[in-house]
Amino acid sequence: MQEKIYKYAPMILLLGGLIMLLVTLLLERYYSYGHYGDDLAWRFYAIIQILITTVLGGLVKSLYRQVHIDMLTGLHNRRYFSTKLSAIQAQTPISLLLIDIDNFKGINDTYGHVTGDQVLRQFAEILQNSIRNFAIDNIVARWGGEEFAVILPRTGAKEAFKIADGIRIIVENHLFSCESIACKITVSIGIASTKEGADIDIEELIKISDAALYKAKEKRNYVYYCYG
């Protein structure tokens, strides 16, 4: 039902606007006949307008979340991430972290997908809290599956490595839990960084960070970086 509401949100917005226009025209015609003393109709119209605006605002917000937010973890999704990465090209140097949970399939196979989903949620919270401590404009997203991505504007390779290794250590020492099940995980992190003032090729930056992640995953629980 909610998906249908999101799907037809543009039509609902249009219908709401047409209704408001029709009410305005009718009221204007009514008052043109000299009924100026009674403002009850205008008060009623104002209340209706507020209700319609509130409902439509809620629909737009829900639609935005569906388009840009990963429903499992509450992080931004890959679509939002790609759009934002393109929008901040001027904020050099830029570092990009790609993070993969090591042997996540083993967690699902051993403890089940419910536990696996809970691990993803808890890891997402750790990641977001860790990144927020450094700067509010850093962007965290779920890249897909057990992979996550972080944009660090105005952050060079050395600082990015320090941030990434801090995340790795926090995750390594954290006990993840789901009901009576407790487990530990590690992460591998690949970093690509650009130099200050350098032109940025977004696709190339992603390609380099992905290659760095591949190198990190060869060792597991490891951070690897290279310059873009």
In angstroms, the CA 124 to CA 140 distance is 9
Task: Say how far apart CA 147 and CA 141 lie, in whole Å.
Answer: 9
Split at pLDDT 50, 70, 90, the class of 132 is confident
**Dist. CA 114–CA 209, nearest whole Å:** 30
Q: How far is CA 28 from CA 50, 97, 191, 209, in A?
A: 19, 59, 63, 62
**Mean predicted confidence (pLDDT) in 199-222:** 91
Each residue's pLDDT tens digit, 30-71? 665 555 445 555 556 666 766 676 666 666 666 566 667 898
| Active-site residue (options: 3, 28, 125, 146) | 146
3-state secondary structure of 189: strand
146 labelled catalytic = yes
Superfamily for domain range 78-227: Reverse transcriptase/Diguanylate cyclase domain (3.30.70.270)
Residues 144-201 pLDDT 10s? 899 999 999 989 889 999 999 999 999 999 999 988 999 999 999 999 998 876 677 8
Residue range 67-95, pLDDT digits in tens: 678 989 999 998 888 888 777 776 778 89
Residue ranges with strand state E in 34-93: none
What burial class does residue 82 get, using C-beta atoms within 10 Å of its C-beta: 0-12 exposed, 13-18 middle, 19+ buried?
Answer: middle
Question: What's residue 3's pLDDT?
Answer: 43
**pTM exceeds 0.85, yes or no:** no
Is the separation of the CB atoms in 123 and 176 below 8 Å?
Answer: yes
Q: Which residues contact 151 (CB under 8 A, 6 or more apart)?
A: 81, 84, 85, 88, 94, 95, 96, 138, 139
Q: What percent of the chain has pLDDT over 70?
A: 68
128, 75 in Cβ contact below 8 A? yes
Please give the Cα distance from 158 to 154 (Å, whole number).
12
Asked whether 69 and 136 are in contact (CB, 8 A), the reply is: no
Cα separations (Å) of 177 from 119, 169, 173?
Answer: 7, 18, 13
